[in-house]
Chain A
Amino acid sequence: MGENLVLDCLGALCPTPIIQLSKAVRTMNPGDHITLKADDPATKSDLIAWARMTGNHVTVISETSFDIEKS
């Protein structure tokens, strides 16, 4: 079971949440989870695209909360 972190990007505009997430994931180990909180309207679709491009896994918890597992 990996470590679970929280990244609060509520109020931050695109592409800040994705950039902050990319930086955070770089320091994580495979299997670690991080919860991203973000309310920019581009975040949800960009996260799904980000997961496809980087190979990580995203689970949408709500419109503003996302669980990411590093692959």
Chain B
Amino acid sequence: MVTAGAFDGERPLHPAGAAVLLAAFERGWAQPGGLGEASAHSRHLLQAAREEIAGHLGVTATELEFWGEPALISPMALQGMPAFTEGKLIVGATERQEILALAARAKSSATLGVSHSGLIDHDQLLEEVESDSIVAIQSANIETGVCQNLKEISQIVGAMKAQLHIDYSASGPLVPLPHYWSTADFPAKSWDGPSGLGVMLINKSQRWANPLATASTRRSPESYSLPLVLAAAASLTGWLADSKNESERLRNLTTMMREVIARTIPDVDIAGSGKSEESLPHILSVSILNISGERLVNALAREGFAVASGSACVASAIEPSHVLQAMGILTHGNIRISLMHGVQESDVKRFLALLPGIISQLRTEAGA
């Protein structure tokens, strides 16, 4: 049986985080802001976790805010920038839907096209960016694993002294912060930490104000759970230690998958170039002509492989993936493979051995 989560991007909490979670509920239950010994202890735990996470992300502890609702981090980061009301919001065509929706409602906005390999058009960025612009970019896309050239984007935005928000949901700290940035979004899930917690980074050299009406100077609602913060810190430390070996191993596995699928299955569209500097090591998006994505996902599930899909013909989706559409990739027959740390090479090989037969069968059934 294939390990749960091995292929589909839904990860269990990292063992290091799980180990501290229960103890954290026993030791870190008091409000860090309160009086008394228990609160003082919680404050100490919180500060230690903040410094541990900040150190791993390459920032100072004062540049880091915890959020109990990770999905709000990017929208709030953008709305807290001085230029949000009057300036131009520039987004990539493959950004998350809520960011595209913000751009659609902005007073002035631009959507940057992407190449067939998913890379943002830097010439268009150069044309669009102005000093009062906000640029919102993903470090990598969670559907396709395509990584943007943050170094060059950062140089372009920094040269104009515009503001740059980077969404690290897909890559986590696998991709380092560039030299110039304003805010960043790191859900703890991006390093196999707990759900229900995320980190907003606010560069100390940039202006930012909490867009939520508040009488205090707090930069977040501070409604997060301290035990989850402690678990997130432990998970991050453990995950980064694992990544040193696992990233290269997973890169070799997805490279093998890319080559074998292209060779053994006719009419497939594999997203991205697969180059190491342009892709995450563990994500592969494959679209297969004349196949229903839902039937393919179900057929793989019967063999023990849970995978995700960006196809509209999968029950949970109404519209086809805007990411695949922006790249000009086939949207039907899509499967998204996200290999977890520790995935067995034998499982990957069994998957590759099964896939051509499943595709052939489904195509025959569809009369294609």
Contacts and interface: CB of A to CB of B under 8 A. Distances in A.
Interface residues of A, number: 18
B91 interface: no
A53 B313 CA distance: 20
Contacts of A50: 289, 330
B interface bracket (residues with beta carbon within 8 Å of A): 20 to 34
B236 to A, nearest CB: 38
A18 B328 contact: no
A53 B331 contact: no
Contact of B289 (A22, A40, A42): A22
A10 interface: no
Interface string A28-71: 00000000000011100110111011100000000000000000
A23 to B, nearest CB: 6
B289 A23 contact: no
A13 B294 CA distance: 12
A2 interface: no
Interface in B304-334: 311-313, 319-320, 324-325, 328-333
A14 B332 contact: yes
A23 B368 contact: yes
B132 interface: no
A15 interface: yes
Given A13-B313, A18-B290, A41-B319, A53 B367 contact: no
A47 B291 CA distance: 14
Contact of A49 (B292, B312, B328, B368): B328
Contacts of B367: 19, 23
Nearest to A48: B328
A53 B289 contact: yes
A52 B328 CA distance: 9
A42 B368 contact: no
A15 B291 contact: yes
B267 interface: yes
A49 B290 contact: no
A46 B330 contact: yes
A68 to B, nearest CB: 15
Given A23-B368, A45-B331, A49-B328, A14 B319 contact: no
Interface in B277-304: 287, 289-293
B63 interface: no
A50 B367 CA distance: 17
A23 B363 CA distance: 11
A14 B313 contact: yes
B286 to A, nearest CB: 13
B330 A14 contact: no
A56 B332 CA distance: 18
A14 B289 CA distance: 11
B366 interface: yes
Contact of B267 (A45, A46, A48, A53): A53
Contacts of A53: 267, 269, 289, 330
A41 B368 CA distance: 21
B331 to A, nearest CB: 5
Nearest to B289: A53
B329 A49 contact: yes
A40 B269 CA distance: 20
18 contacts: A15-B290, A15-B291, A15-B293, A15-B311, A15-B366, A19-B366, A40-B312, A41-B312, A42-B311, A42-B332, A45-B320, A45-B328, A46-B332, A49-B269, A49-B328, A53-B267, A54-B267, A54-B289
Interface of B: 267, 269, 287, 289-293, 311-313, 319-320, 324-325, 328-333, 366-368
Given A18-B289, A19-B368, A23-B368, 5 more contacts: A23-B367, A41-B312, A41-B320, A46-B331, A50-B289
Q: Which 7 A-B pairs have the closest CB atoms?
A: A15-B332, A42-B320, A49-B330, A45-B325, A14-B332, A19-B368, A42-B331
